[in-house]
Every structure is written in C-alpha cells, then in structure tokens.
C-alpha cells in the first residue's frame, strides 16, 4: 500500500489490485474516518479528499494502513440486462487481438456476468469487471475524439458503456439503445457500484427493448409566468448558472463542478446581501446583455468590465464590486474585461432556478445542471427575502487578475505520478513557461510549451481518480490543467496539482497568458507514521 499526494487536500492510496481497492472503500464506508469528505475508487487506487483542519495526510495514512483488506465485496442482488447491437467499429480488431473469431468474441461477452466495480469518467459510466479474461484487450493507440452515446466497449480488464458522446480510447464492440444516464430517473445512473450486469445480443435474443425519452437535464429558466425576470438580449458565449458545487454524487460518476473563481462568486453574493451559495450566473469574456422587467439590485464580481445601464429616464456606466439598482425596463450590458476571464452576476433575492442533484452548478462536460443561458432566455427572479443581509459596498478582488500575455505563477504539489517522468521531464514542467491555448475551457486549461514532458516509458496507467487542479500529461507531453468540470477519473499520469489557494486564480487565466509552475517541495510518498509531539505541546 502506497500513499501518494494528489493535492494539499487529496491523497491517492495505491493498492495491489481492484479487490483490495473495493475492500478499503467498503471499510471506509462502514467505518468512516473523521475528516474524509469524499472517496473515489478506481482500478487499483482510492482517491480520498479530506479536511486538513480535522486530520493530516500522515494521520490519515496511519488510520488507513491498519484496515483489513481481506474482505470480499458481497455481490448485489440487482441484475441489469443491457441489449447490444454487435456492430462496433473495433469488433474485428478485438477478434484479431484475442485470436478469436468475431462470433466467439460476441459469445464470450454475452455469456459473462459483470459487476460494476466503480463509476467515473462521465455520469453513468460504470467500470465493469468479471468478464472473460480472453477478452482483455488494450486501449486503442489513437483515441477517438468522439465515441457515440451507447457504445459498448472494452479496455484492459474492463467493459463499459459510454453514456454520452465523448472522446475515448476503448475498443467498441457495439451499441445499446438503453439510456445509461437519465436525470429523470432516481438514481440517474442505471449502473451503480456492486450491481451485476449481463449483455445480450439484440439480433439473437428476440427480446423487446423499451427506451424512454430523456427529459431535459436542467431546470427550465425560460418560463414567462413571473413578471419579475431578466430577458436575455445577447450572450456571445452562453452564460451558465453556478454555485459552490455538487458533492456526494461520485457514486454515479458525477463530479463537483461549481464556480471556477469561488472568491468572486462569494463576493458577488455579498455585494447584494444574498445568503452563502446562492446561485449566480458565470459570464465569460463579456458581451452579455439583458433587460429587467422589475426593480432589482445586482452585483458583479470577478473579471472587471464596464457595465452600462440604459433606462427610460437616465443611463450610466458603472463597474464591478458595487451594488447596482435597476428599474423596470432598464437594459444592462457588460463590456469585455481587460483582465481575467469570468465575471459573476448575482441578483438580490436570487434567481429562480431549480437545483439538479442538489446543486445549481452547470457541469459542461457531464451535461448536468441548469440549461445554458443564450439570447432569448428568460431568467425568473426568486425575490426570496429570507436570509438577506445588507448590501456590501466594501468588496474588493481577492487577487490581481491576469491579462492576456501576462505570466502567472501557480504553486503546485508534486504527485501522484511524478515518478512516471524522467528528471528532465519534471524539470521541464517547472523551468519553462506554458502558454494557455484557445482549446481551454471549464474542463481544463490546455497548455503548450516548447518542450514536452519526457516520460520514463510508455506504460499504460489504469484509470484513477483526478482532483481539481491536477496537471495531467497525455501522450503529447503537453499538460492539461484540470478545472472544475474535469472527468472524475482519468487514464493519463498526473505529474502534480495546483495548490487549492491558487485554483481561483487558475480559473481566471485568459487565452495566450503564460503559466509558470512553482513546486512547494520535492515529490515524496506520504509516510504512514504519526508525527511525534514536542515535549510540553498541548493536545
């Protein structure tokens, strides 16, 4: 058992195999350790996010090291049968890789009984184990940029079904019409850890397959039943609702998401006197405009921009970090920010937006949360007076926001897979500047440097949990810095992670800025030994 740093608040426990991983996961579920906030099981690792105020990484490792890992997981009584049309693009390749005929591949796949070991990558994506060992095949050398929803695929010892269109490198056997993820169901994921799964050939079975229409994955924000509303006039980049995140859904493969710049999100709510975690609109690069049908007070924090208010009796310009009063009929337009990327728009009393899985955060990768806001959208206002406080006129930015062309220094923690890279590769990460490319998004910042990171070898990493701020290195050697909408698990090694106190800054770095990574210390495993107290120290 190894304990590897994944961030300042996250530890990756590496175990011998999947059985040990699931045994440790079950042990922590049955007998929790105070301070653990979330656990993400994977092929042979368990990622644990903890509260440093309650427990240190070293003490956490000590507690875990004593757990019994011999117990086997009891199979669930729940059996899910998945119909498959075996016409996949990689079916012939799988036959060649295994030395079997296509018919034999299909027979072995349908005669196997699988178990959902864990969920990740995307909501509703279950990693299935227990299939015929003869069907163990490697990932494709060149991952596809788009795999259709419903694709049934193999990779290593796992089988799985892609719940939505997404990139991926698994070998596709066929497709299923069954919806693996449906926010209208409870739970939304048809596959849950521990469930048993069998596939059957639709052509040979003769079974009827029923599929229901999937309802909208988000709240309806276009209703016009309420007279208190904002009518969106323009949104060059769709705006999205955000709050502090969606937690407790990792069992369905759903990550937290949430505002990329939490300090600005919180400031916007304080400006208008809202309770903590009231949903705001996250605006990217300005150009957003709307008309108000009612009196309202708004506040904007984050990327600074000129805010123009045009009314029947007067018009004026103002800026961020101050309360702005609106009258019925007023139009509001946001200019383009000179610095930063994202601004947060709050309205006193809150927007009338329904939470999805307990949160108003919009996860752009998983497509979970309220619908994106575009020209023509109508934003109903809740006007909830409970919990309101006085507006704040003393808010200031938490840090200086970067401009395009600036160099931004981000502190990082090495790990968990720093030792997968050569010494030269590790030095490359911190010695050269990395440019933010236009391919960046809320999922992650894609970086480009003169010299790619050099790996020790081309070994394949089993999928494992990834933390927000993780610096993942794909085959190209060019880093991807994961932001709030990153996948829950990933199959490329993570060389380090941005310190949590710099995540808000990372969320504001614009295209063509440069990033300098600054390590907080050398890479080292976490020792499962308690720190000795100094004599006289109070407990």
Q: pLDDT by residue (tens digit) across 486-509?
A: 988 888 999 999 999 999 999 999
pLDDT at 217: 43
Q: How far is CA 446 from CA 117, 450, 515, in A?
A: 31, 14, 11
Helix (H, G, I), strand (E, B) or coil at 60: helix
pLDDT band per the 50, 70, 90 thresholds, residue 167? confident
pLDDT at 133: 95
Average pLDDT of the chain is 92
**Is 72's pLDDT higher than 80?**
no
pLDDT at 535: 44
Question: pLDDT of 449-470, one tens digit each?
Answer: 999 999 998 888 888 999 999 9
Lowest mean pLDDT among 37-51, 131-145, 218-232, 482-496: 218-232
278-290: average pLDDT: 97
pLDDT at 215: 45
Helix (H, G, I), strand (E, B) or coil at 379: strand
302-316: average pLDDT: 94
pLDDT band per the 50, 70, 90 thresholds, residue 539? very low
70-93: average pLDDT: 89
Q: Which residues contact 339 (CB under 8 A, 6 or more apart)?
A: 303, 304, 400, 401, 402, 403, 508, 510
Query: How crowded is residue 468: how many other Cβ atoms within 10 Å of its Cβ?
Result: 27
Regarding beta strands 166-168 and 144-147, do their DSSP bridges make them parallel or antiparallel, or are they unpaired? antiparallel
Question: pLDDT of 124-149, one tens digit each?
Answer: 999 999 999 999 999 887 778 889 99
**Is 530's pLDDT higher than 70?**
no
pLDDT at 225: 52
CB 30 within 8 A of CB 36: no
pLDDT at 205: 79
**Nearest-angstrom CA–CA distance, 118 and 79:** 16
**Nearest-angstrom CA–CA distance, 352 and 380:** 5
Give the dihedral sign, CA 129/135/139/143. negative
Q: Which of 151, 109, 150 is nearest to 130 (CA)?
A: 109
For the chain, count helices (H), then strands (E): 8, 33
Q: Which of 310, 336, 343 is nearest to 239 (CA)?
A: 343
Lowest mean pLDDT among 194-198, 208-212, 363-367, 427-431: 208-212
pLDDT at 193: 87
Q: Which of 98, 78, 254, 83 is nearest to 161 (CA)?
A: 83
**Is 481's pLDDT higher than 60?**
yes
Question: pLDDT of 168-208, one tens digit each?
Answer: 889 999 999 999 998 888 888 899 888 999 999 998 877 76
pLDDT at 313: 81
**Is 532's pLDDT higher than 90?**
no
Q: Which of 347, 302, 293, 346 is nearest to 320 (CA)?
A: 302
């Amino acid at each position: 058992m190894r304990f590897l740093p994944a961030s300042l608040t996250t530890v990756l426990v590496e175990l011998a195999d999947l059985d040990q991983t699931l045994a440790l996961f079950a042990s922590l579920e049955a007998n929790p350790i105070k301070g653990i906030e979330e656990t993400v099981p994977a092929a042979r690792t368990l990622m644990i996010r903890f509260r440093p105020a309650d427990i240190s990484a070293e003490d956490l490792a000590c507690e875990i090291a004593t757990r019994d890992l011999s117990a086997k997981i009891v199979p669930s009584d729940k059996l899910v049968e998945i119909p498959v049309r075996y016409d996949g693009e990689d079916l012939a390749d799988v036959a060649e890789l295994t030395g079997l005929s296509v018919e034999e591949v299909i027979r072995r796949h349908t005669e196997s009984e699988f178990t959902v070991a864990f969920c990740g990558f995307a909501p509703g994506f279950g990693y299935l184990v227990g299939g015929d060992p003869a069907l163990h095949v490697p990932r494709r050398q060149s991952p596809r940029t788009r795999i259709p929803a419903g694709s049934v695929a193999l990779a290593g010892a796992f089988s799985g079904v892609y719940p939505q269109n997404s990139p991926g490198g698994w070998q596709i056997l066929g497709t299923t019409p069954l919806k693996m993820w449906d926010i209208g169901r409870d739970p939304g994921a048809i596959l849950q850890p521990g469930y048993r799964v069998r596939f059957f050939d639709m052509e040979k079975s003769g079974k009827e397959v029923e599929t229901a229409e999937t309802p909208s994955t988000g709240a309806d924000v276009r209703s016009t039943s309420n007279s208190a509303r904002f009518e969106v006039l323009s949104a060059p980049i769709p705006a999205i609702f955000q709050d502090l995140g969606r937690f407790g859904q990792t069992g369905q493969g759903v990550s937290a998401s949430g505002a990329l710049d939490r300090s600005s999100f919180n400031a916007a709510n304080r400006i208008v006197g809202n309770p903590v975690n009231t949903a705001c609109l996250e605006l990217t690069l300005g150009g957003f405009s709307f008309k108000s049908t009612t009196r309202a007070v708004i506040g904007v924090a984050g990327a600074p921009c000129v805010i123009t208010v045009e009314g029947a009796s007067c018009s004026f310009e103002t800026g961020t970090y101050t309360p702005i009063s609106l009258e019925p009929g007023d139009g509001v337009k946001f200019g383009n920010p000179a610095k930063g990327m994202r601004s947060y728009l709050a309205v006193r009393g809150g927007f009338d937006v329904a939470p999805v899985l307990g949160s108003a955060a919009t996860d752009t990768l998983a497509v979970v949360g309220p619908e994106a806001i575009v020209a023509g959208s109508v934003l109903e206002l809740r006007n909830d007076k409970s919990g309101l406080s006085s507006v704040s006129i003393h808010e200031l930015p938490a840090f200086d926001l970067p401009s395009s062309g600036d160099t931004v220094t981000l502190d990082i923690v090495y790990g968990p897979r720093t030792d997968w890279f050569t010494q030269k590769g590790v030095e490359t990460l911190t010695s050269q500047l990395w440019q933010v490319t236009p391919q960046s998004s809320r999922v992650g910042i894609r970086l480009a440097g003169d010299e790619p990171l050099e790996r020790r070898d081309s070994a394949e990493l089993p999928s494992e949990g990834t933390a927000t701020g993780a610096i993942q290195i794909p085959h190209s050697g060019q880093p991807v810095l994961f932001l709030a909408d990153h996948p829950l698990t990933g199959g490329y090694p993570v060389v380090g992670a941005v310190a949590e106190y710099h995540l808000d800054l990372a969320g504001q770095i614009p295209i063509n800025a440069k990033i300098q990574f600054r390590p907080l210390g050398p890479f080292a495993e976490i020792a499962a030994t308690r720190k000795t107290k100094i004599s006289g120290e109070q407990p």
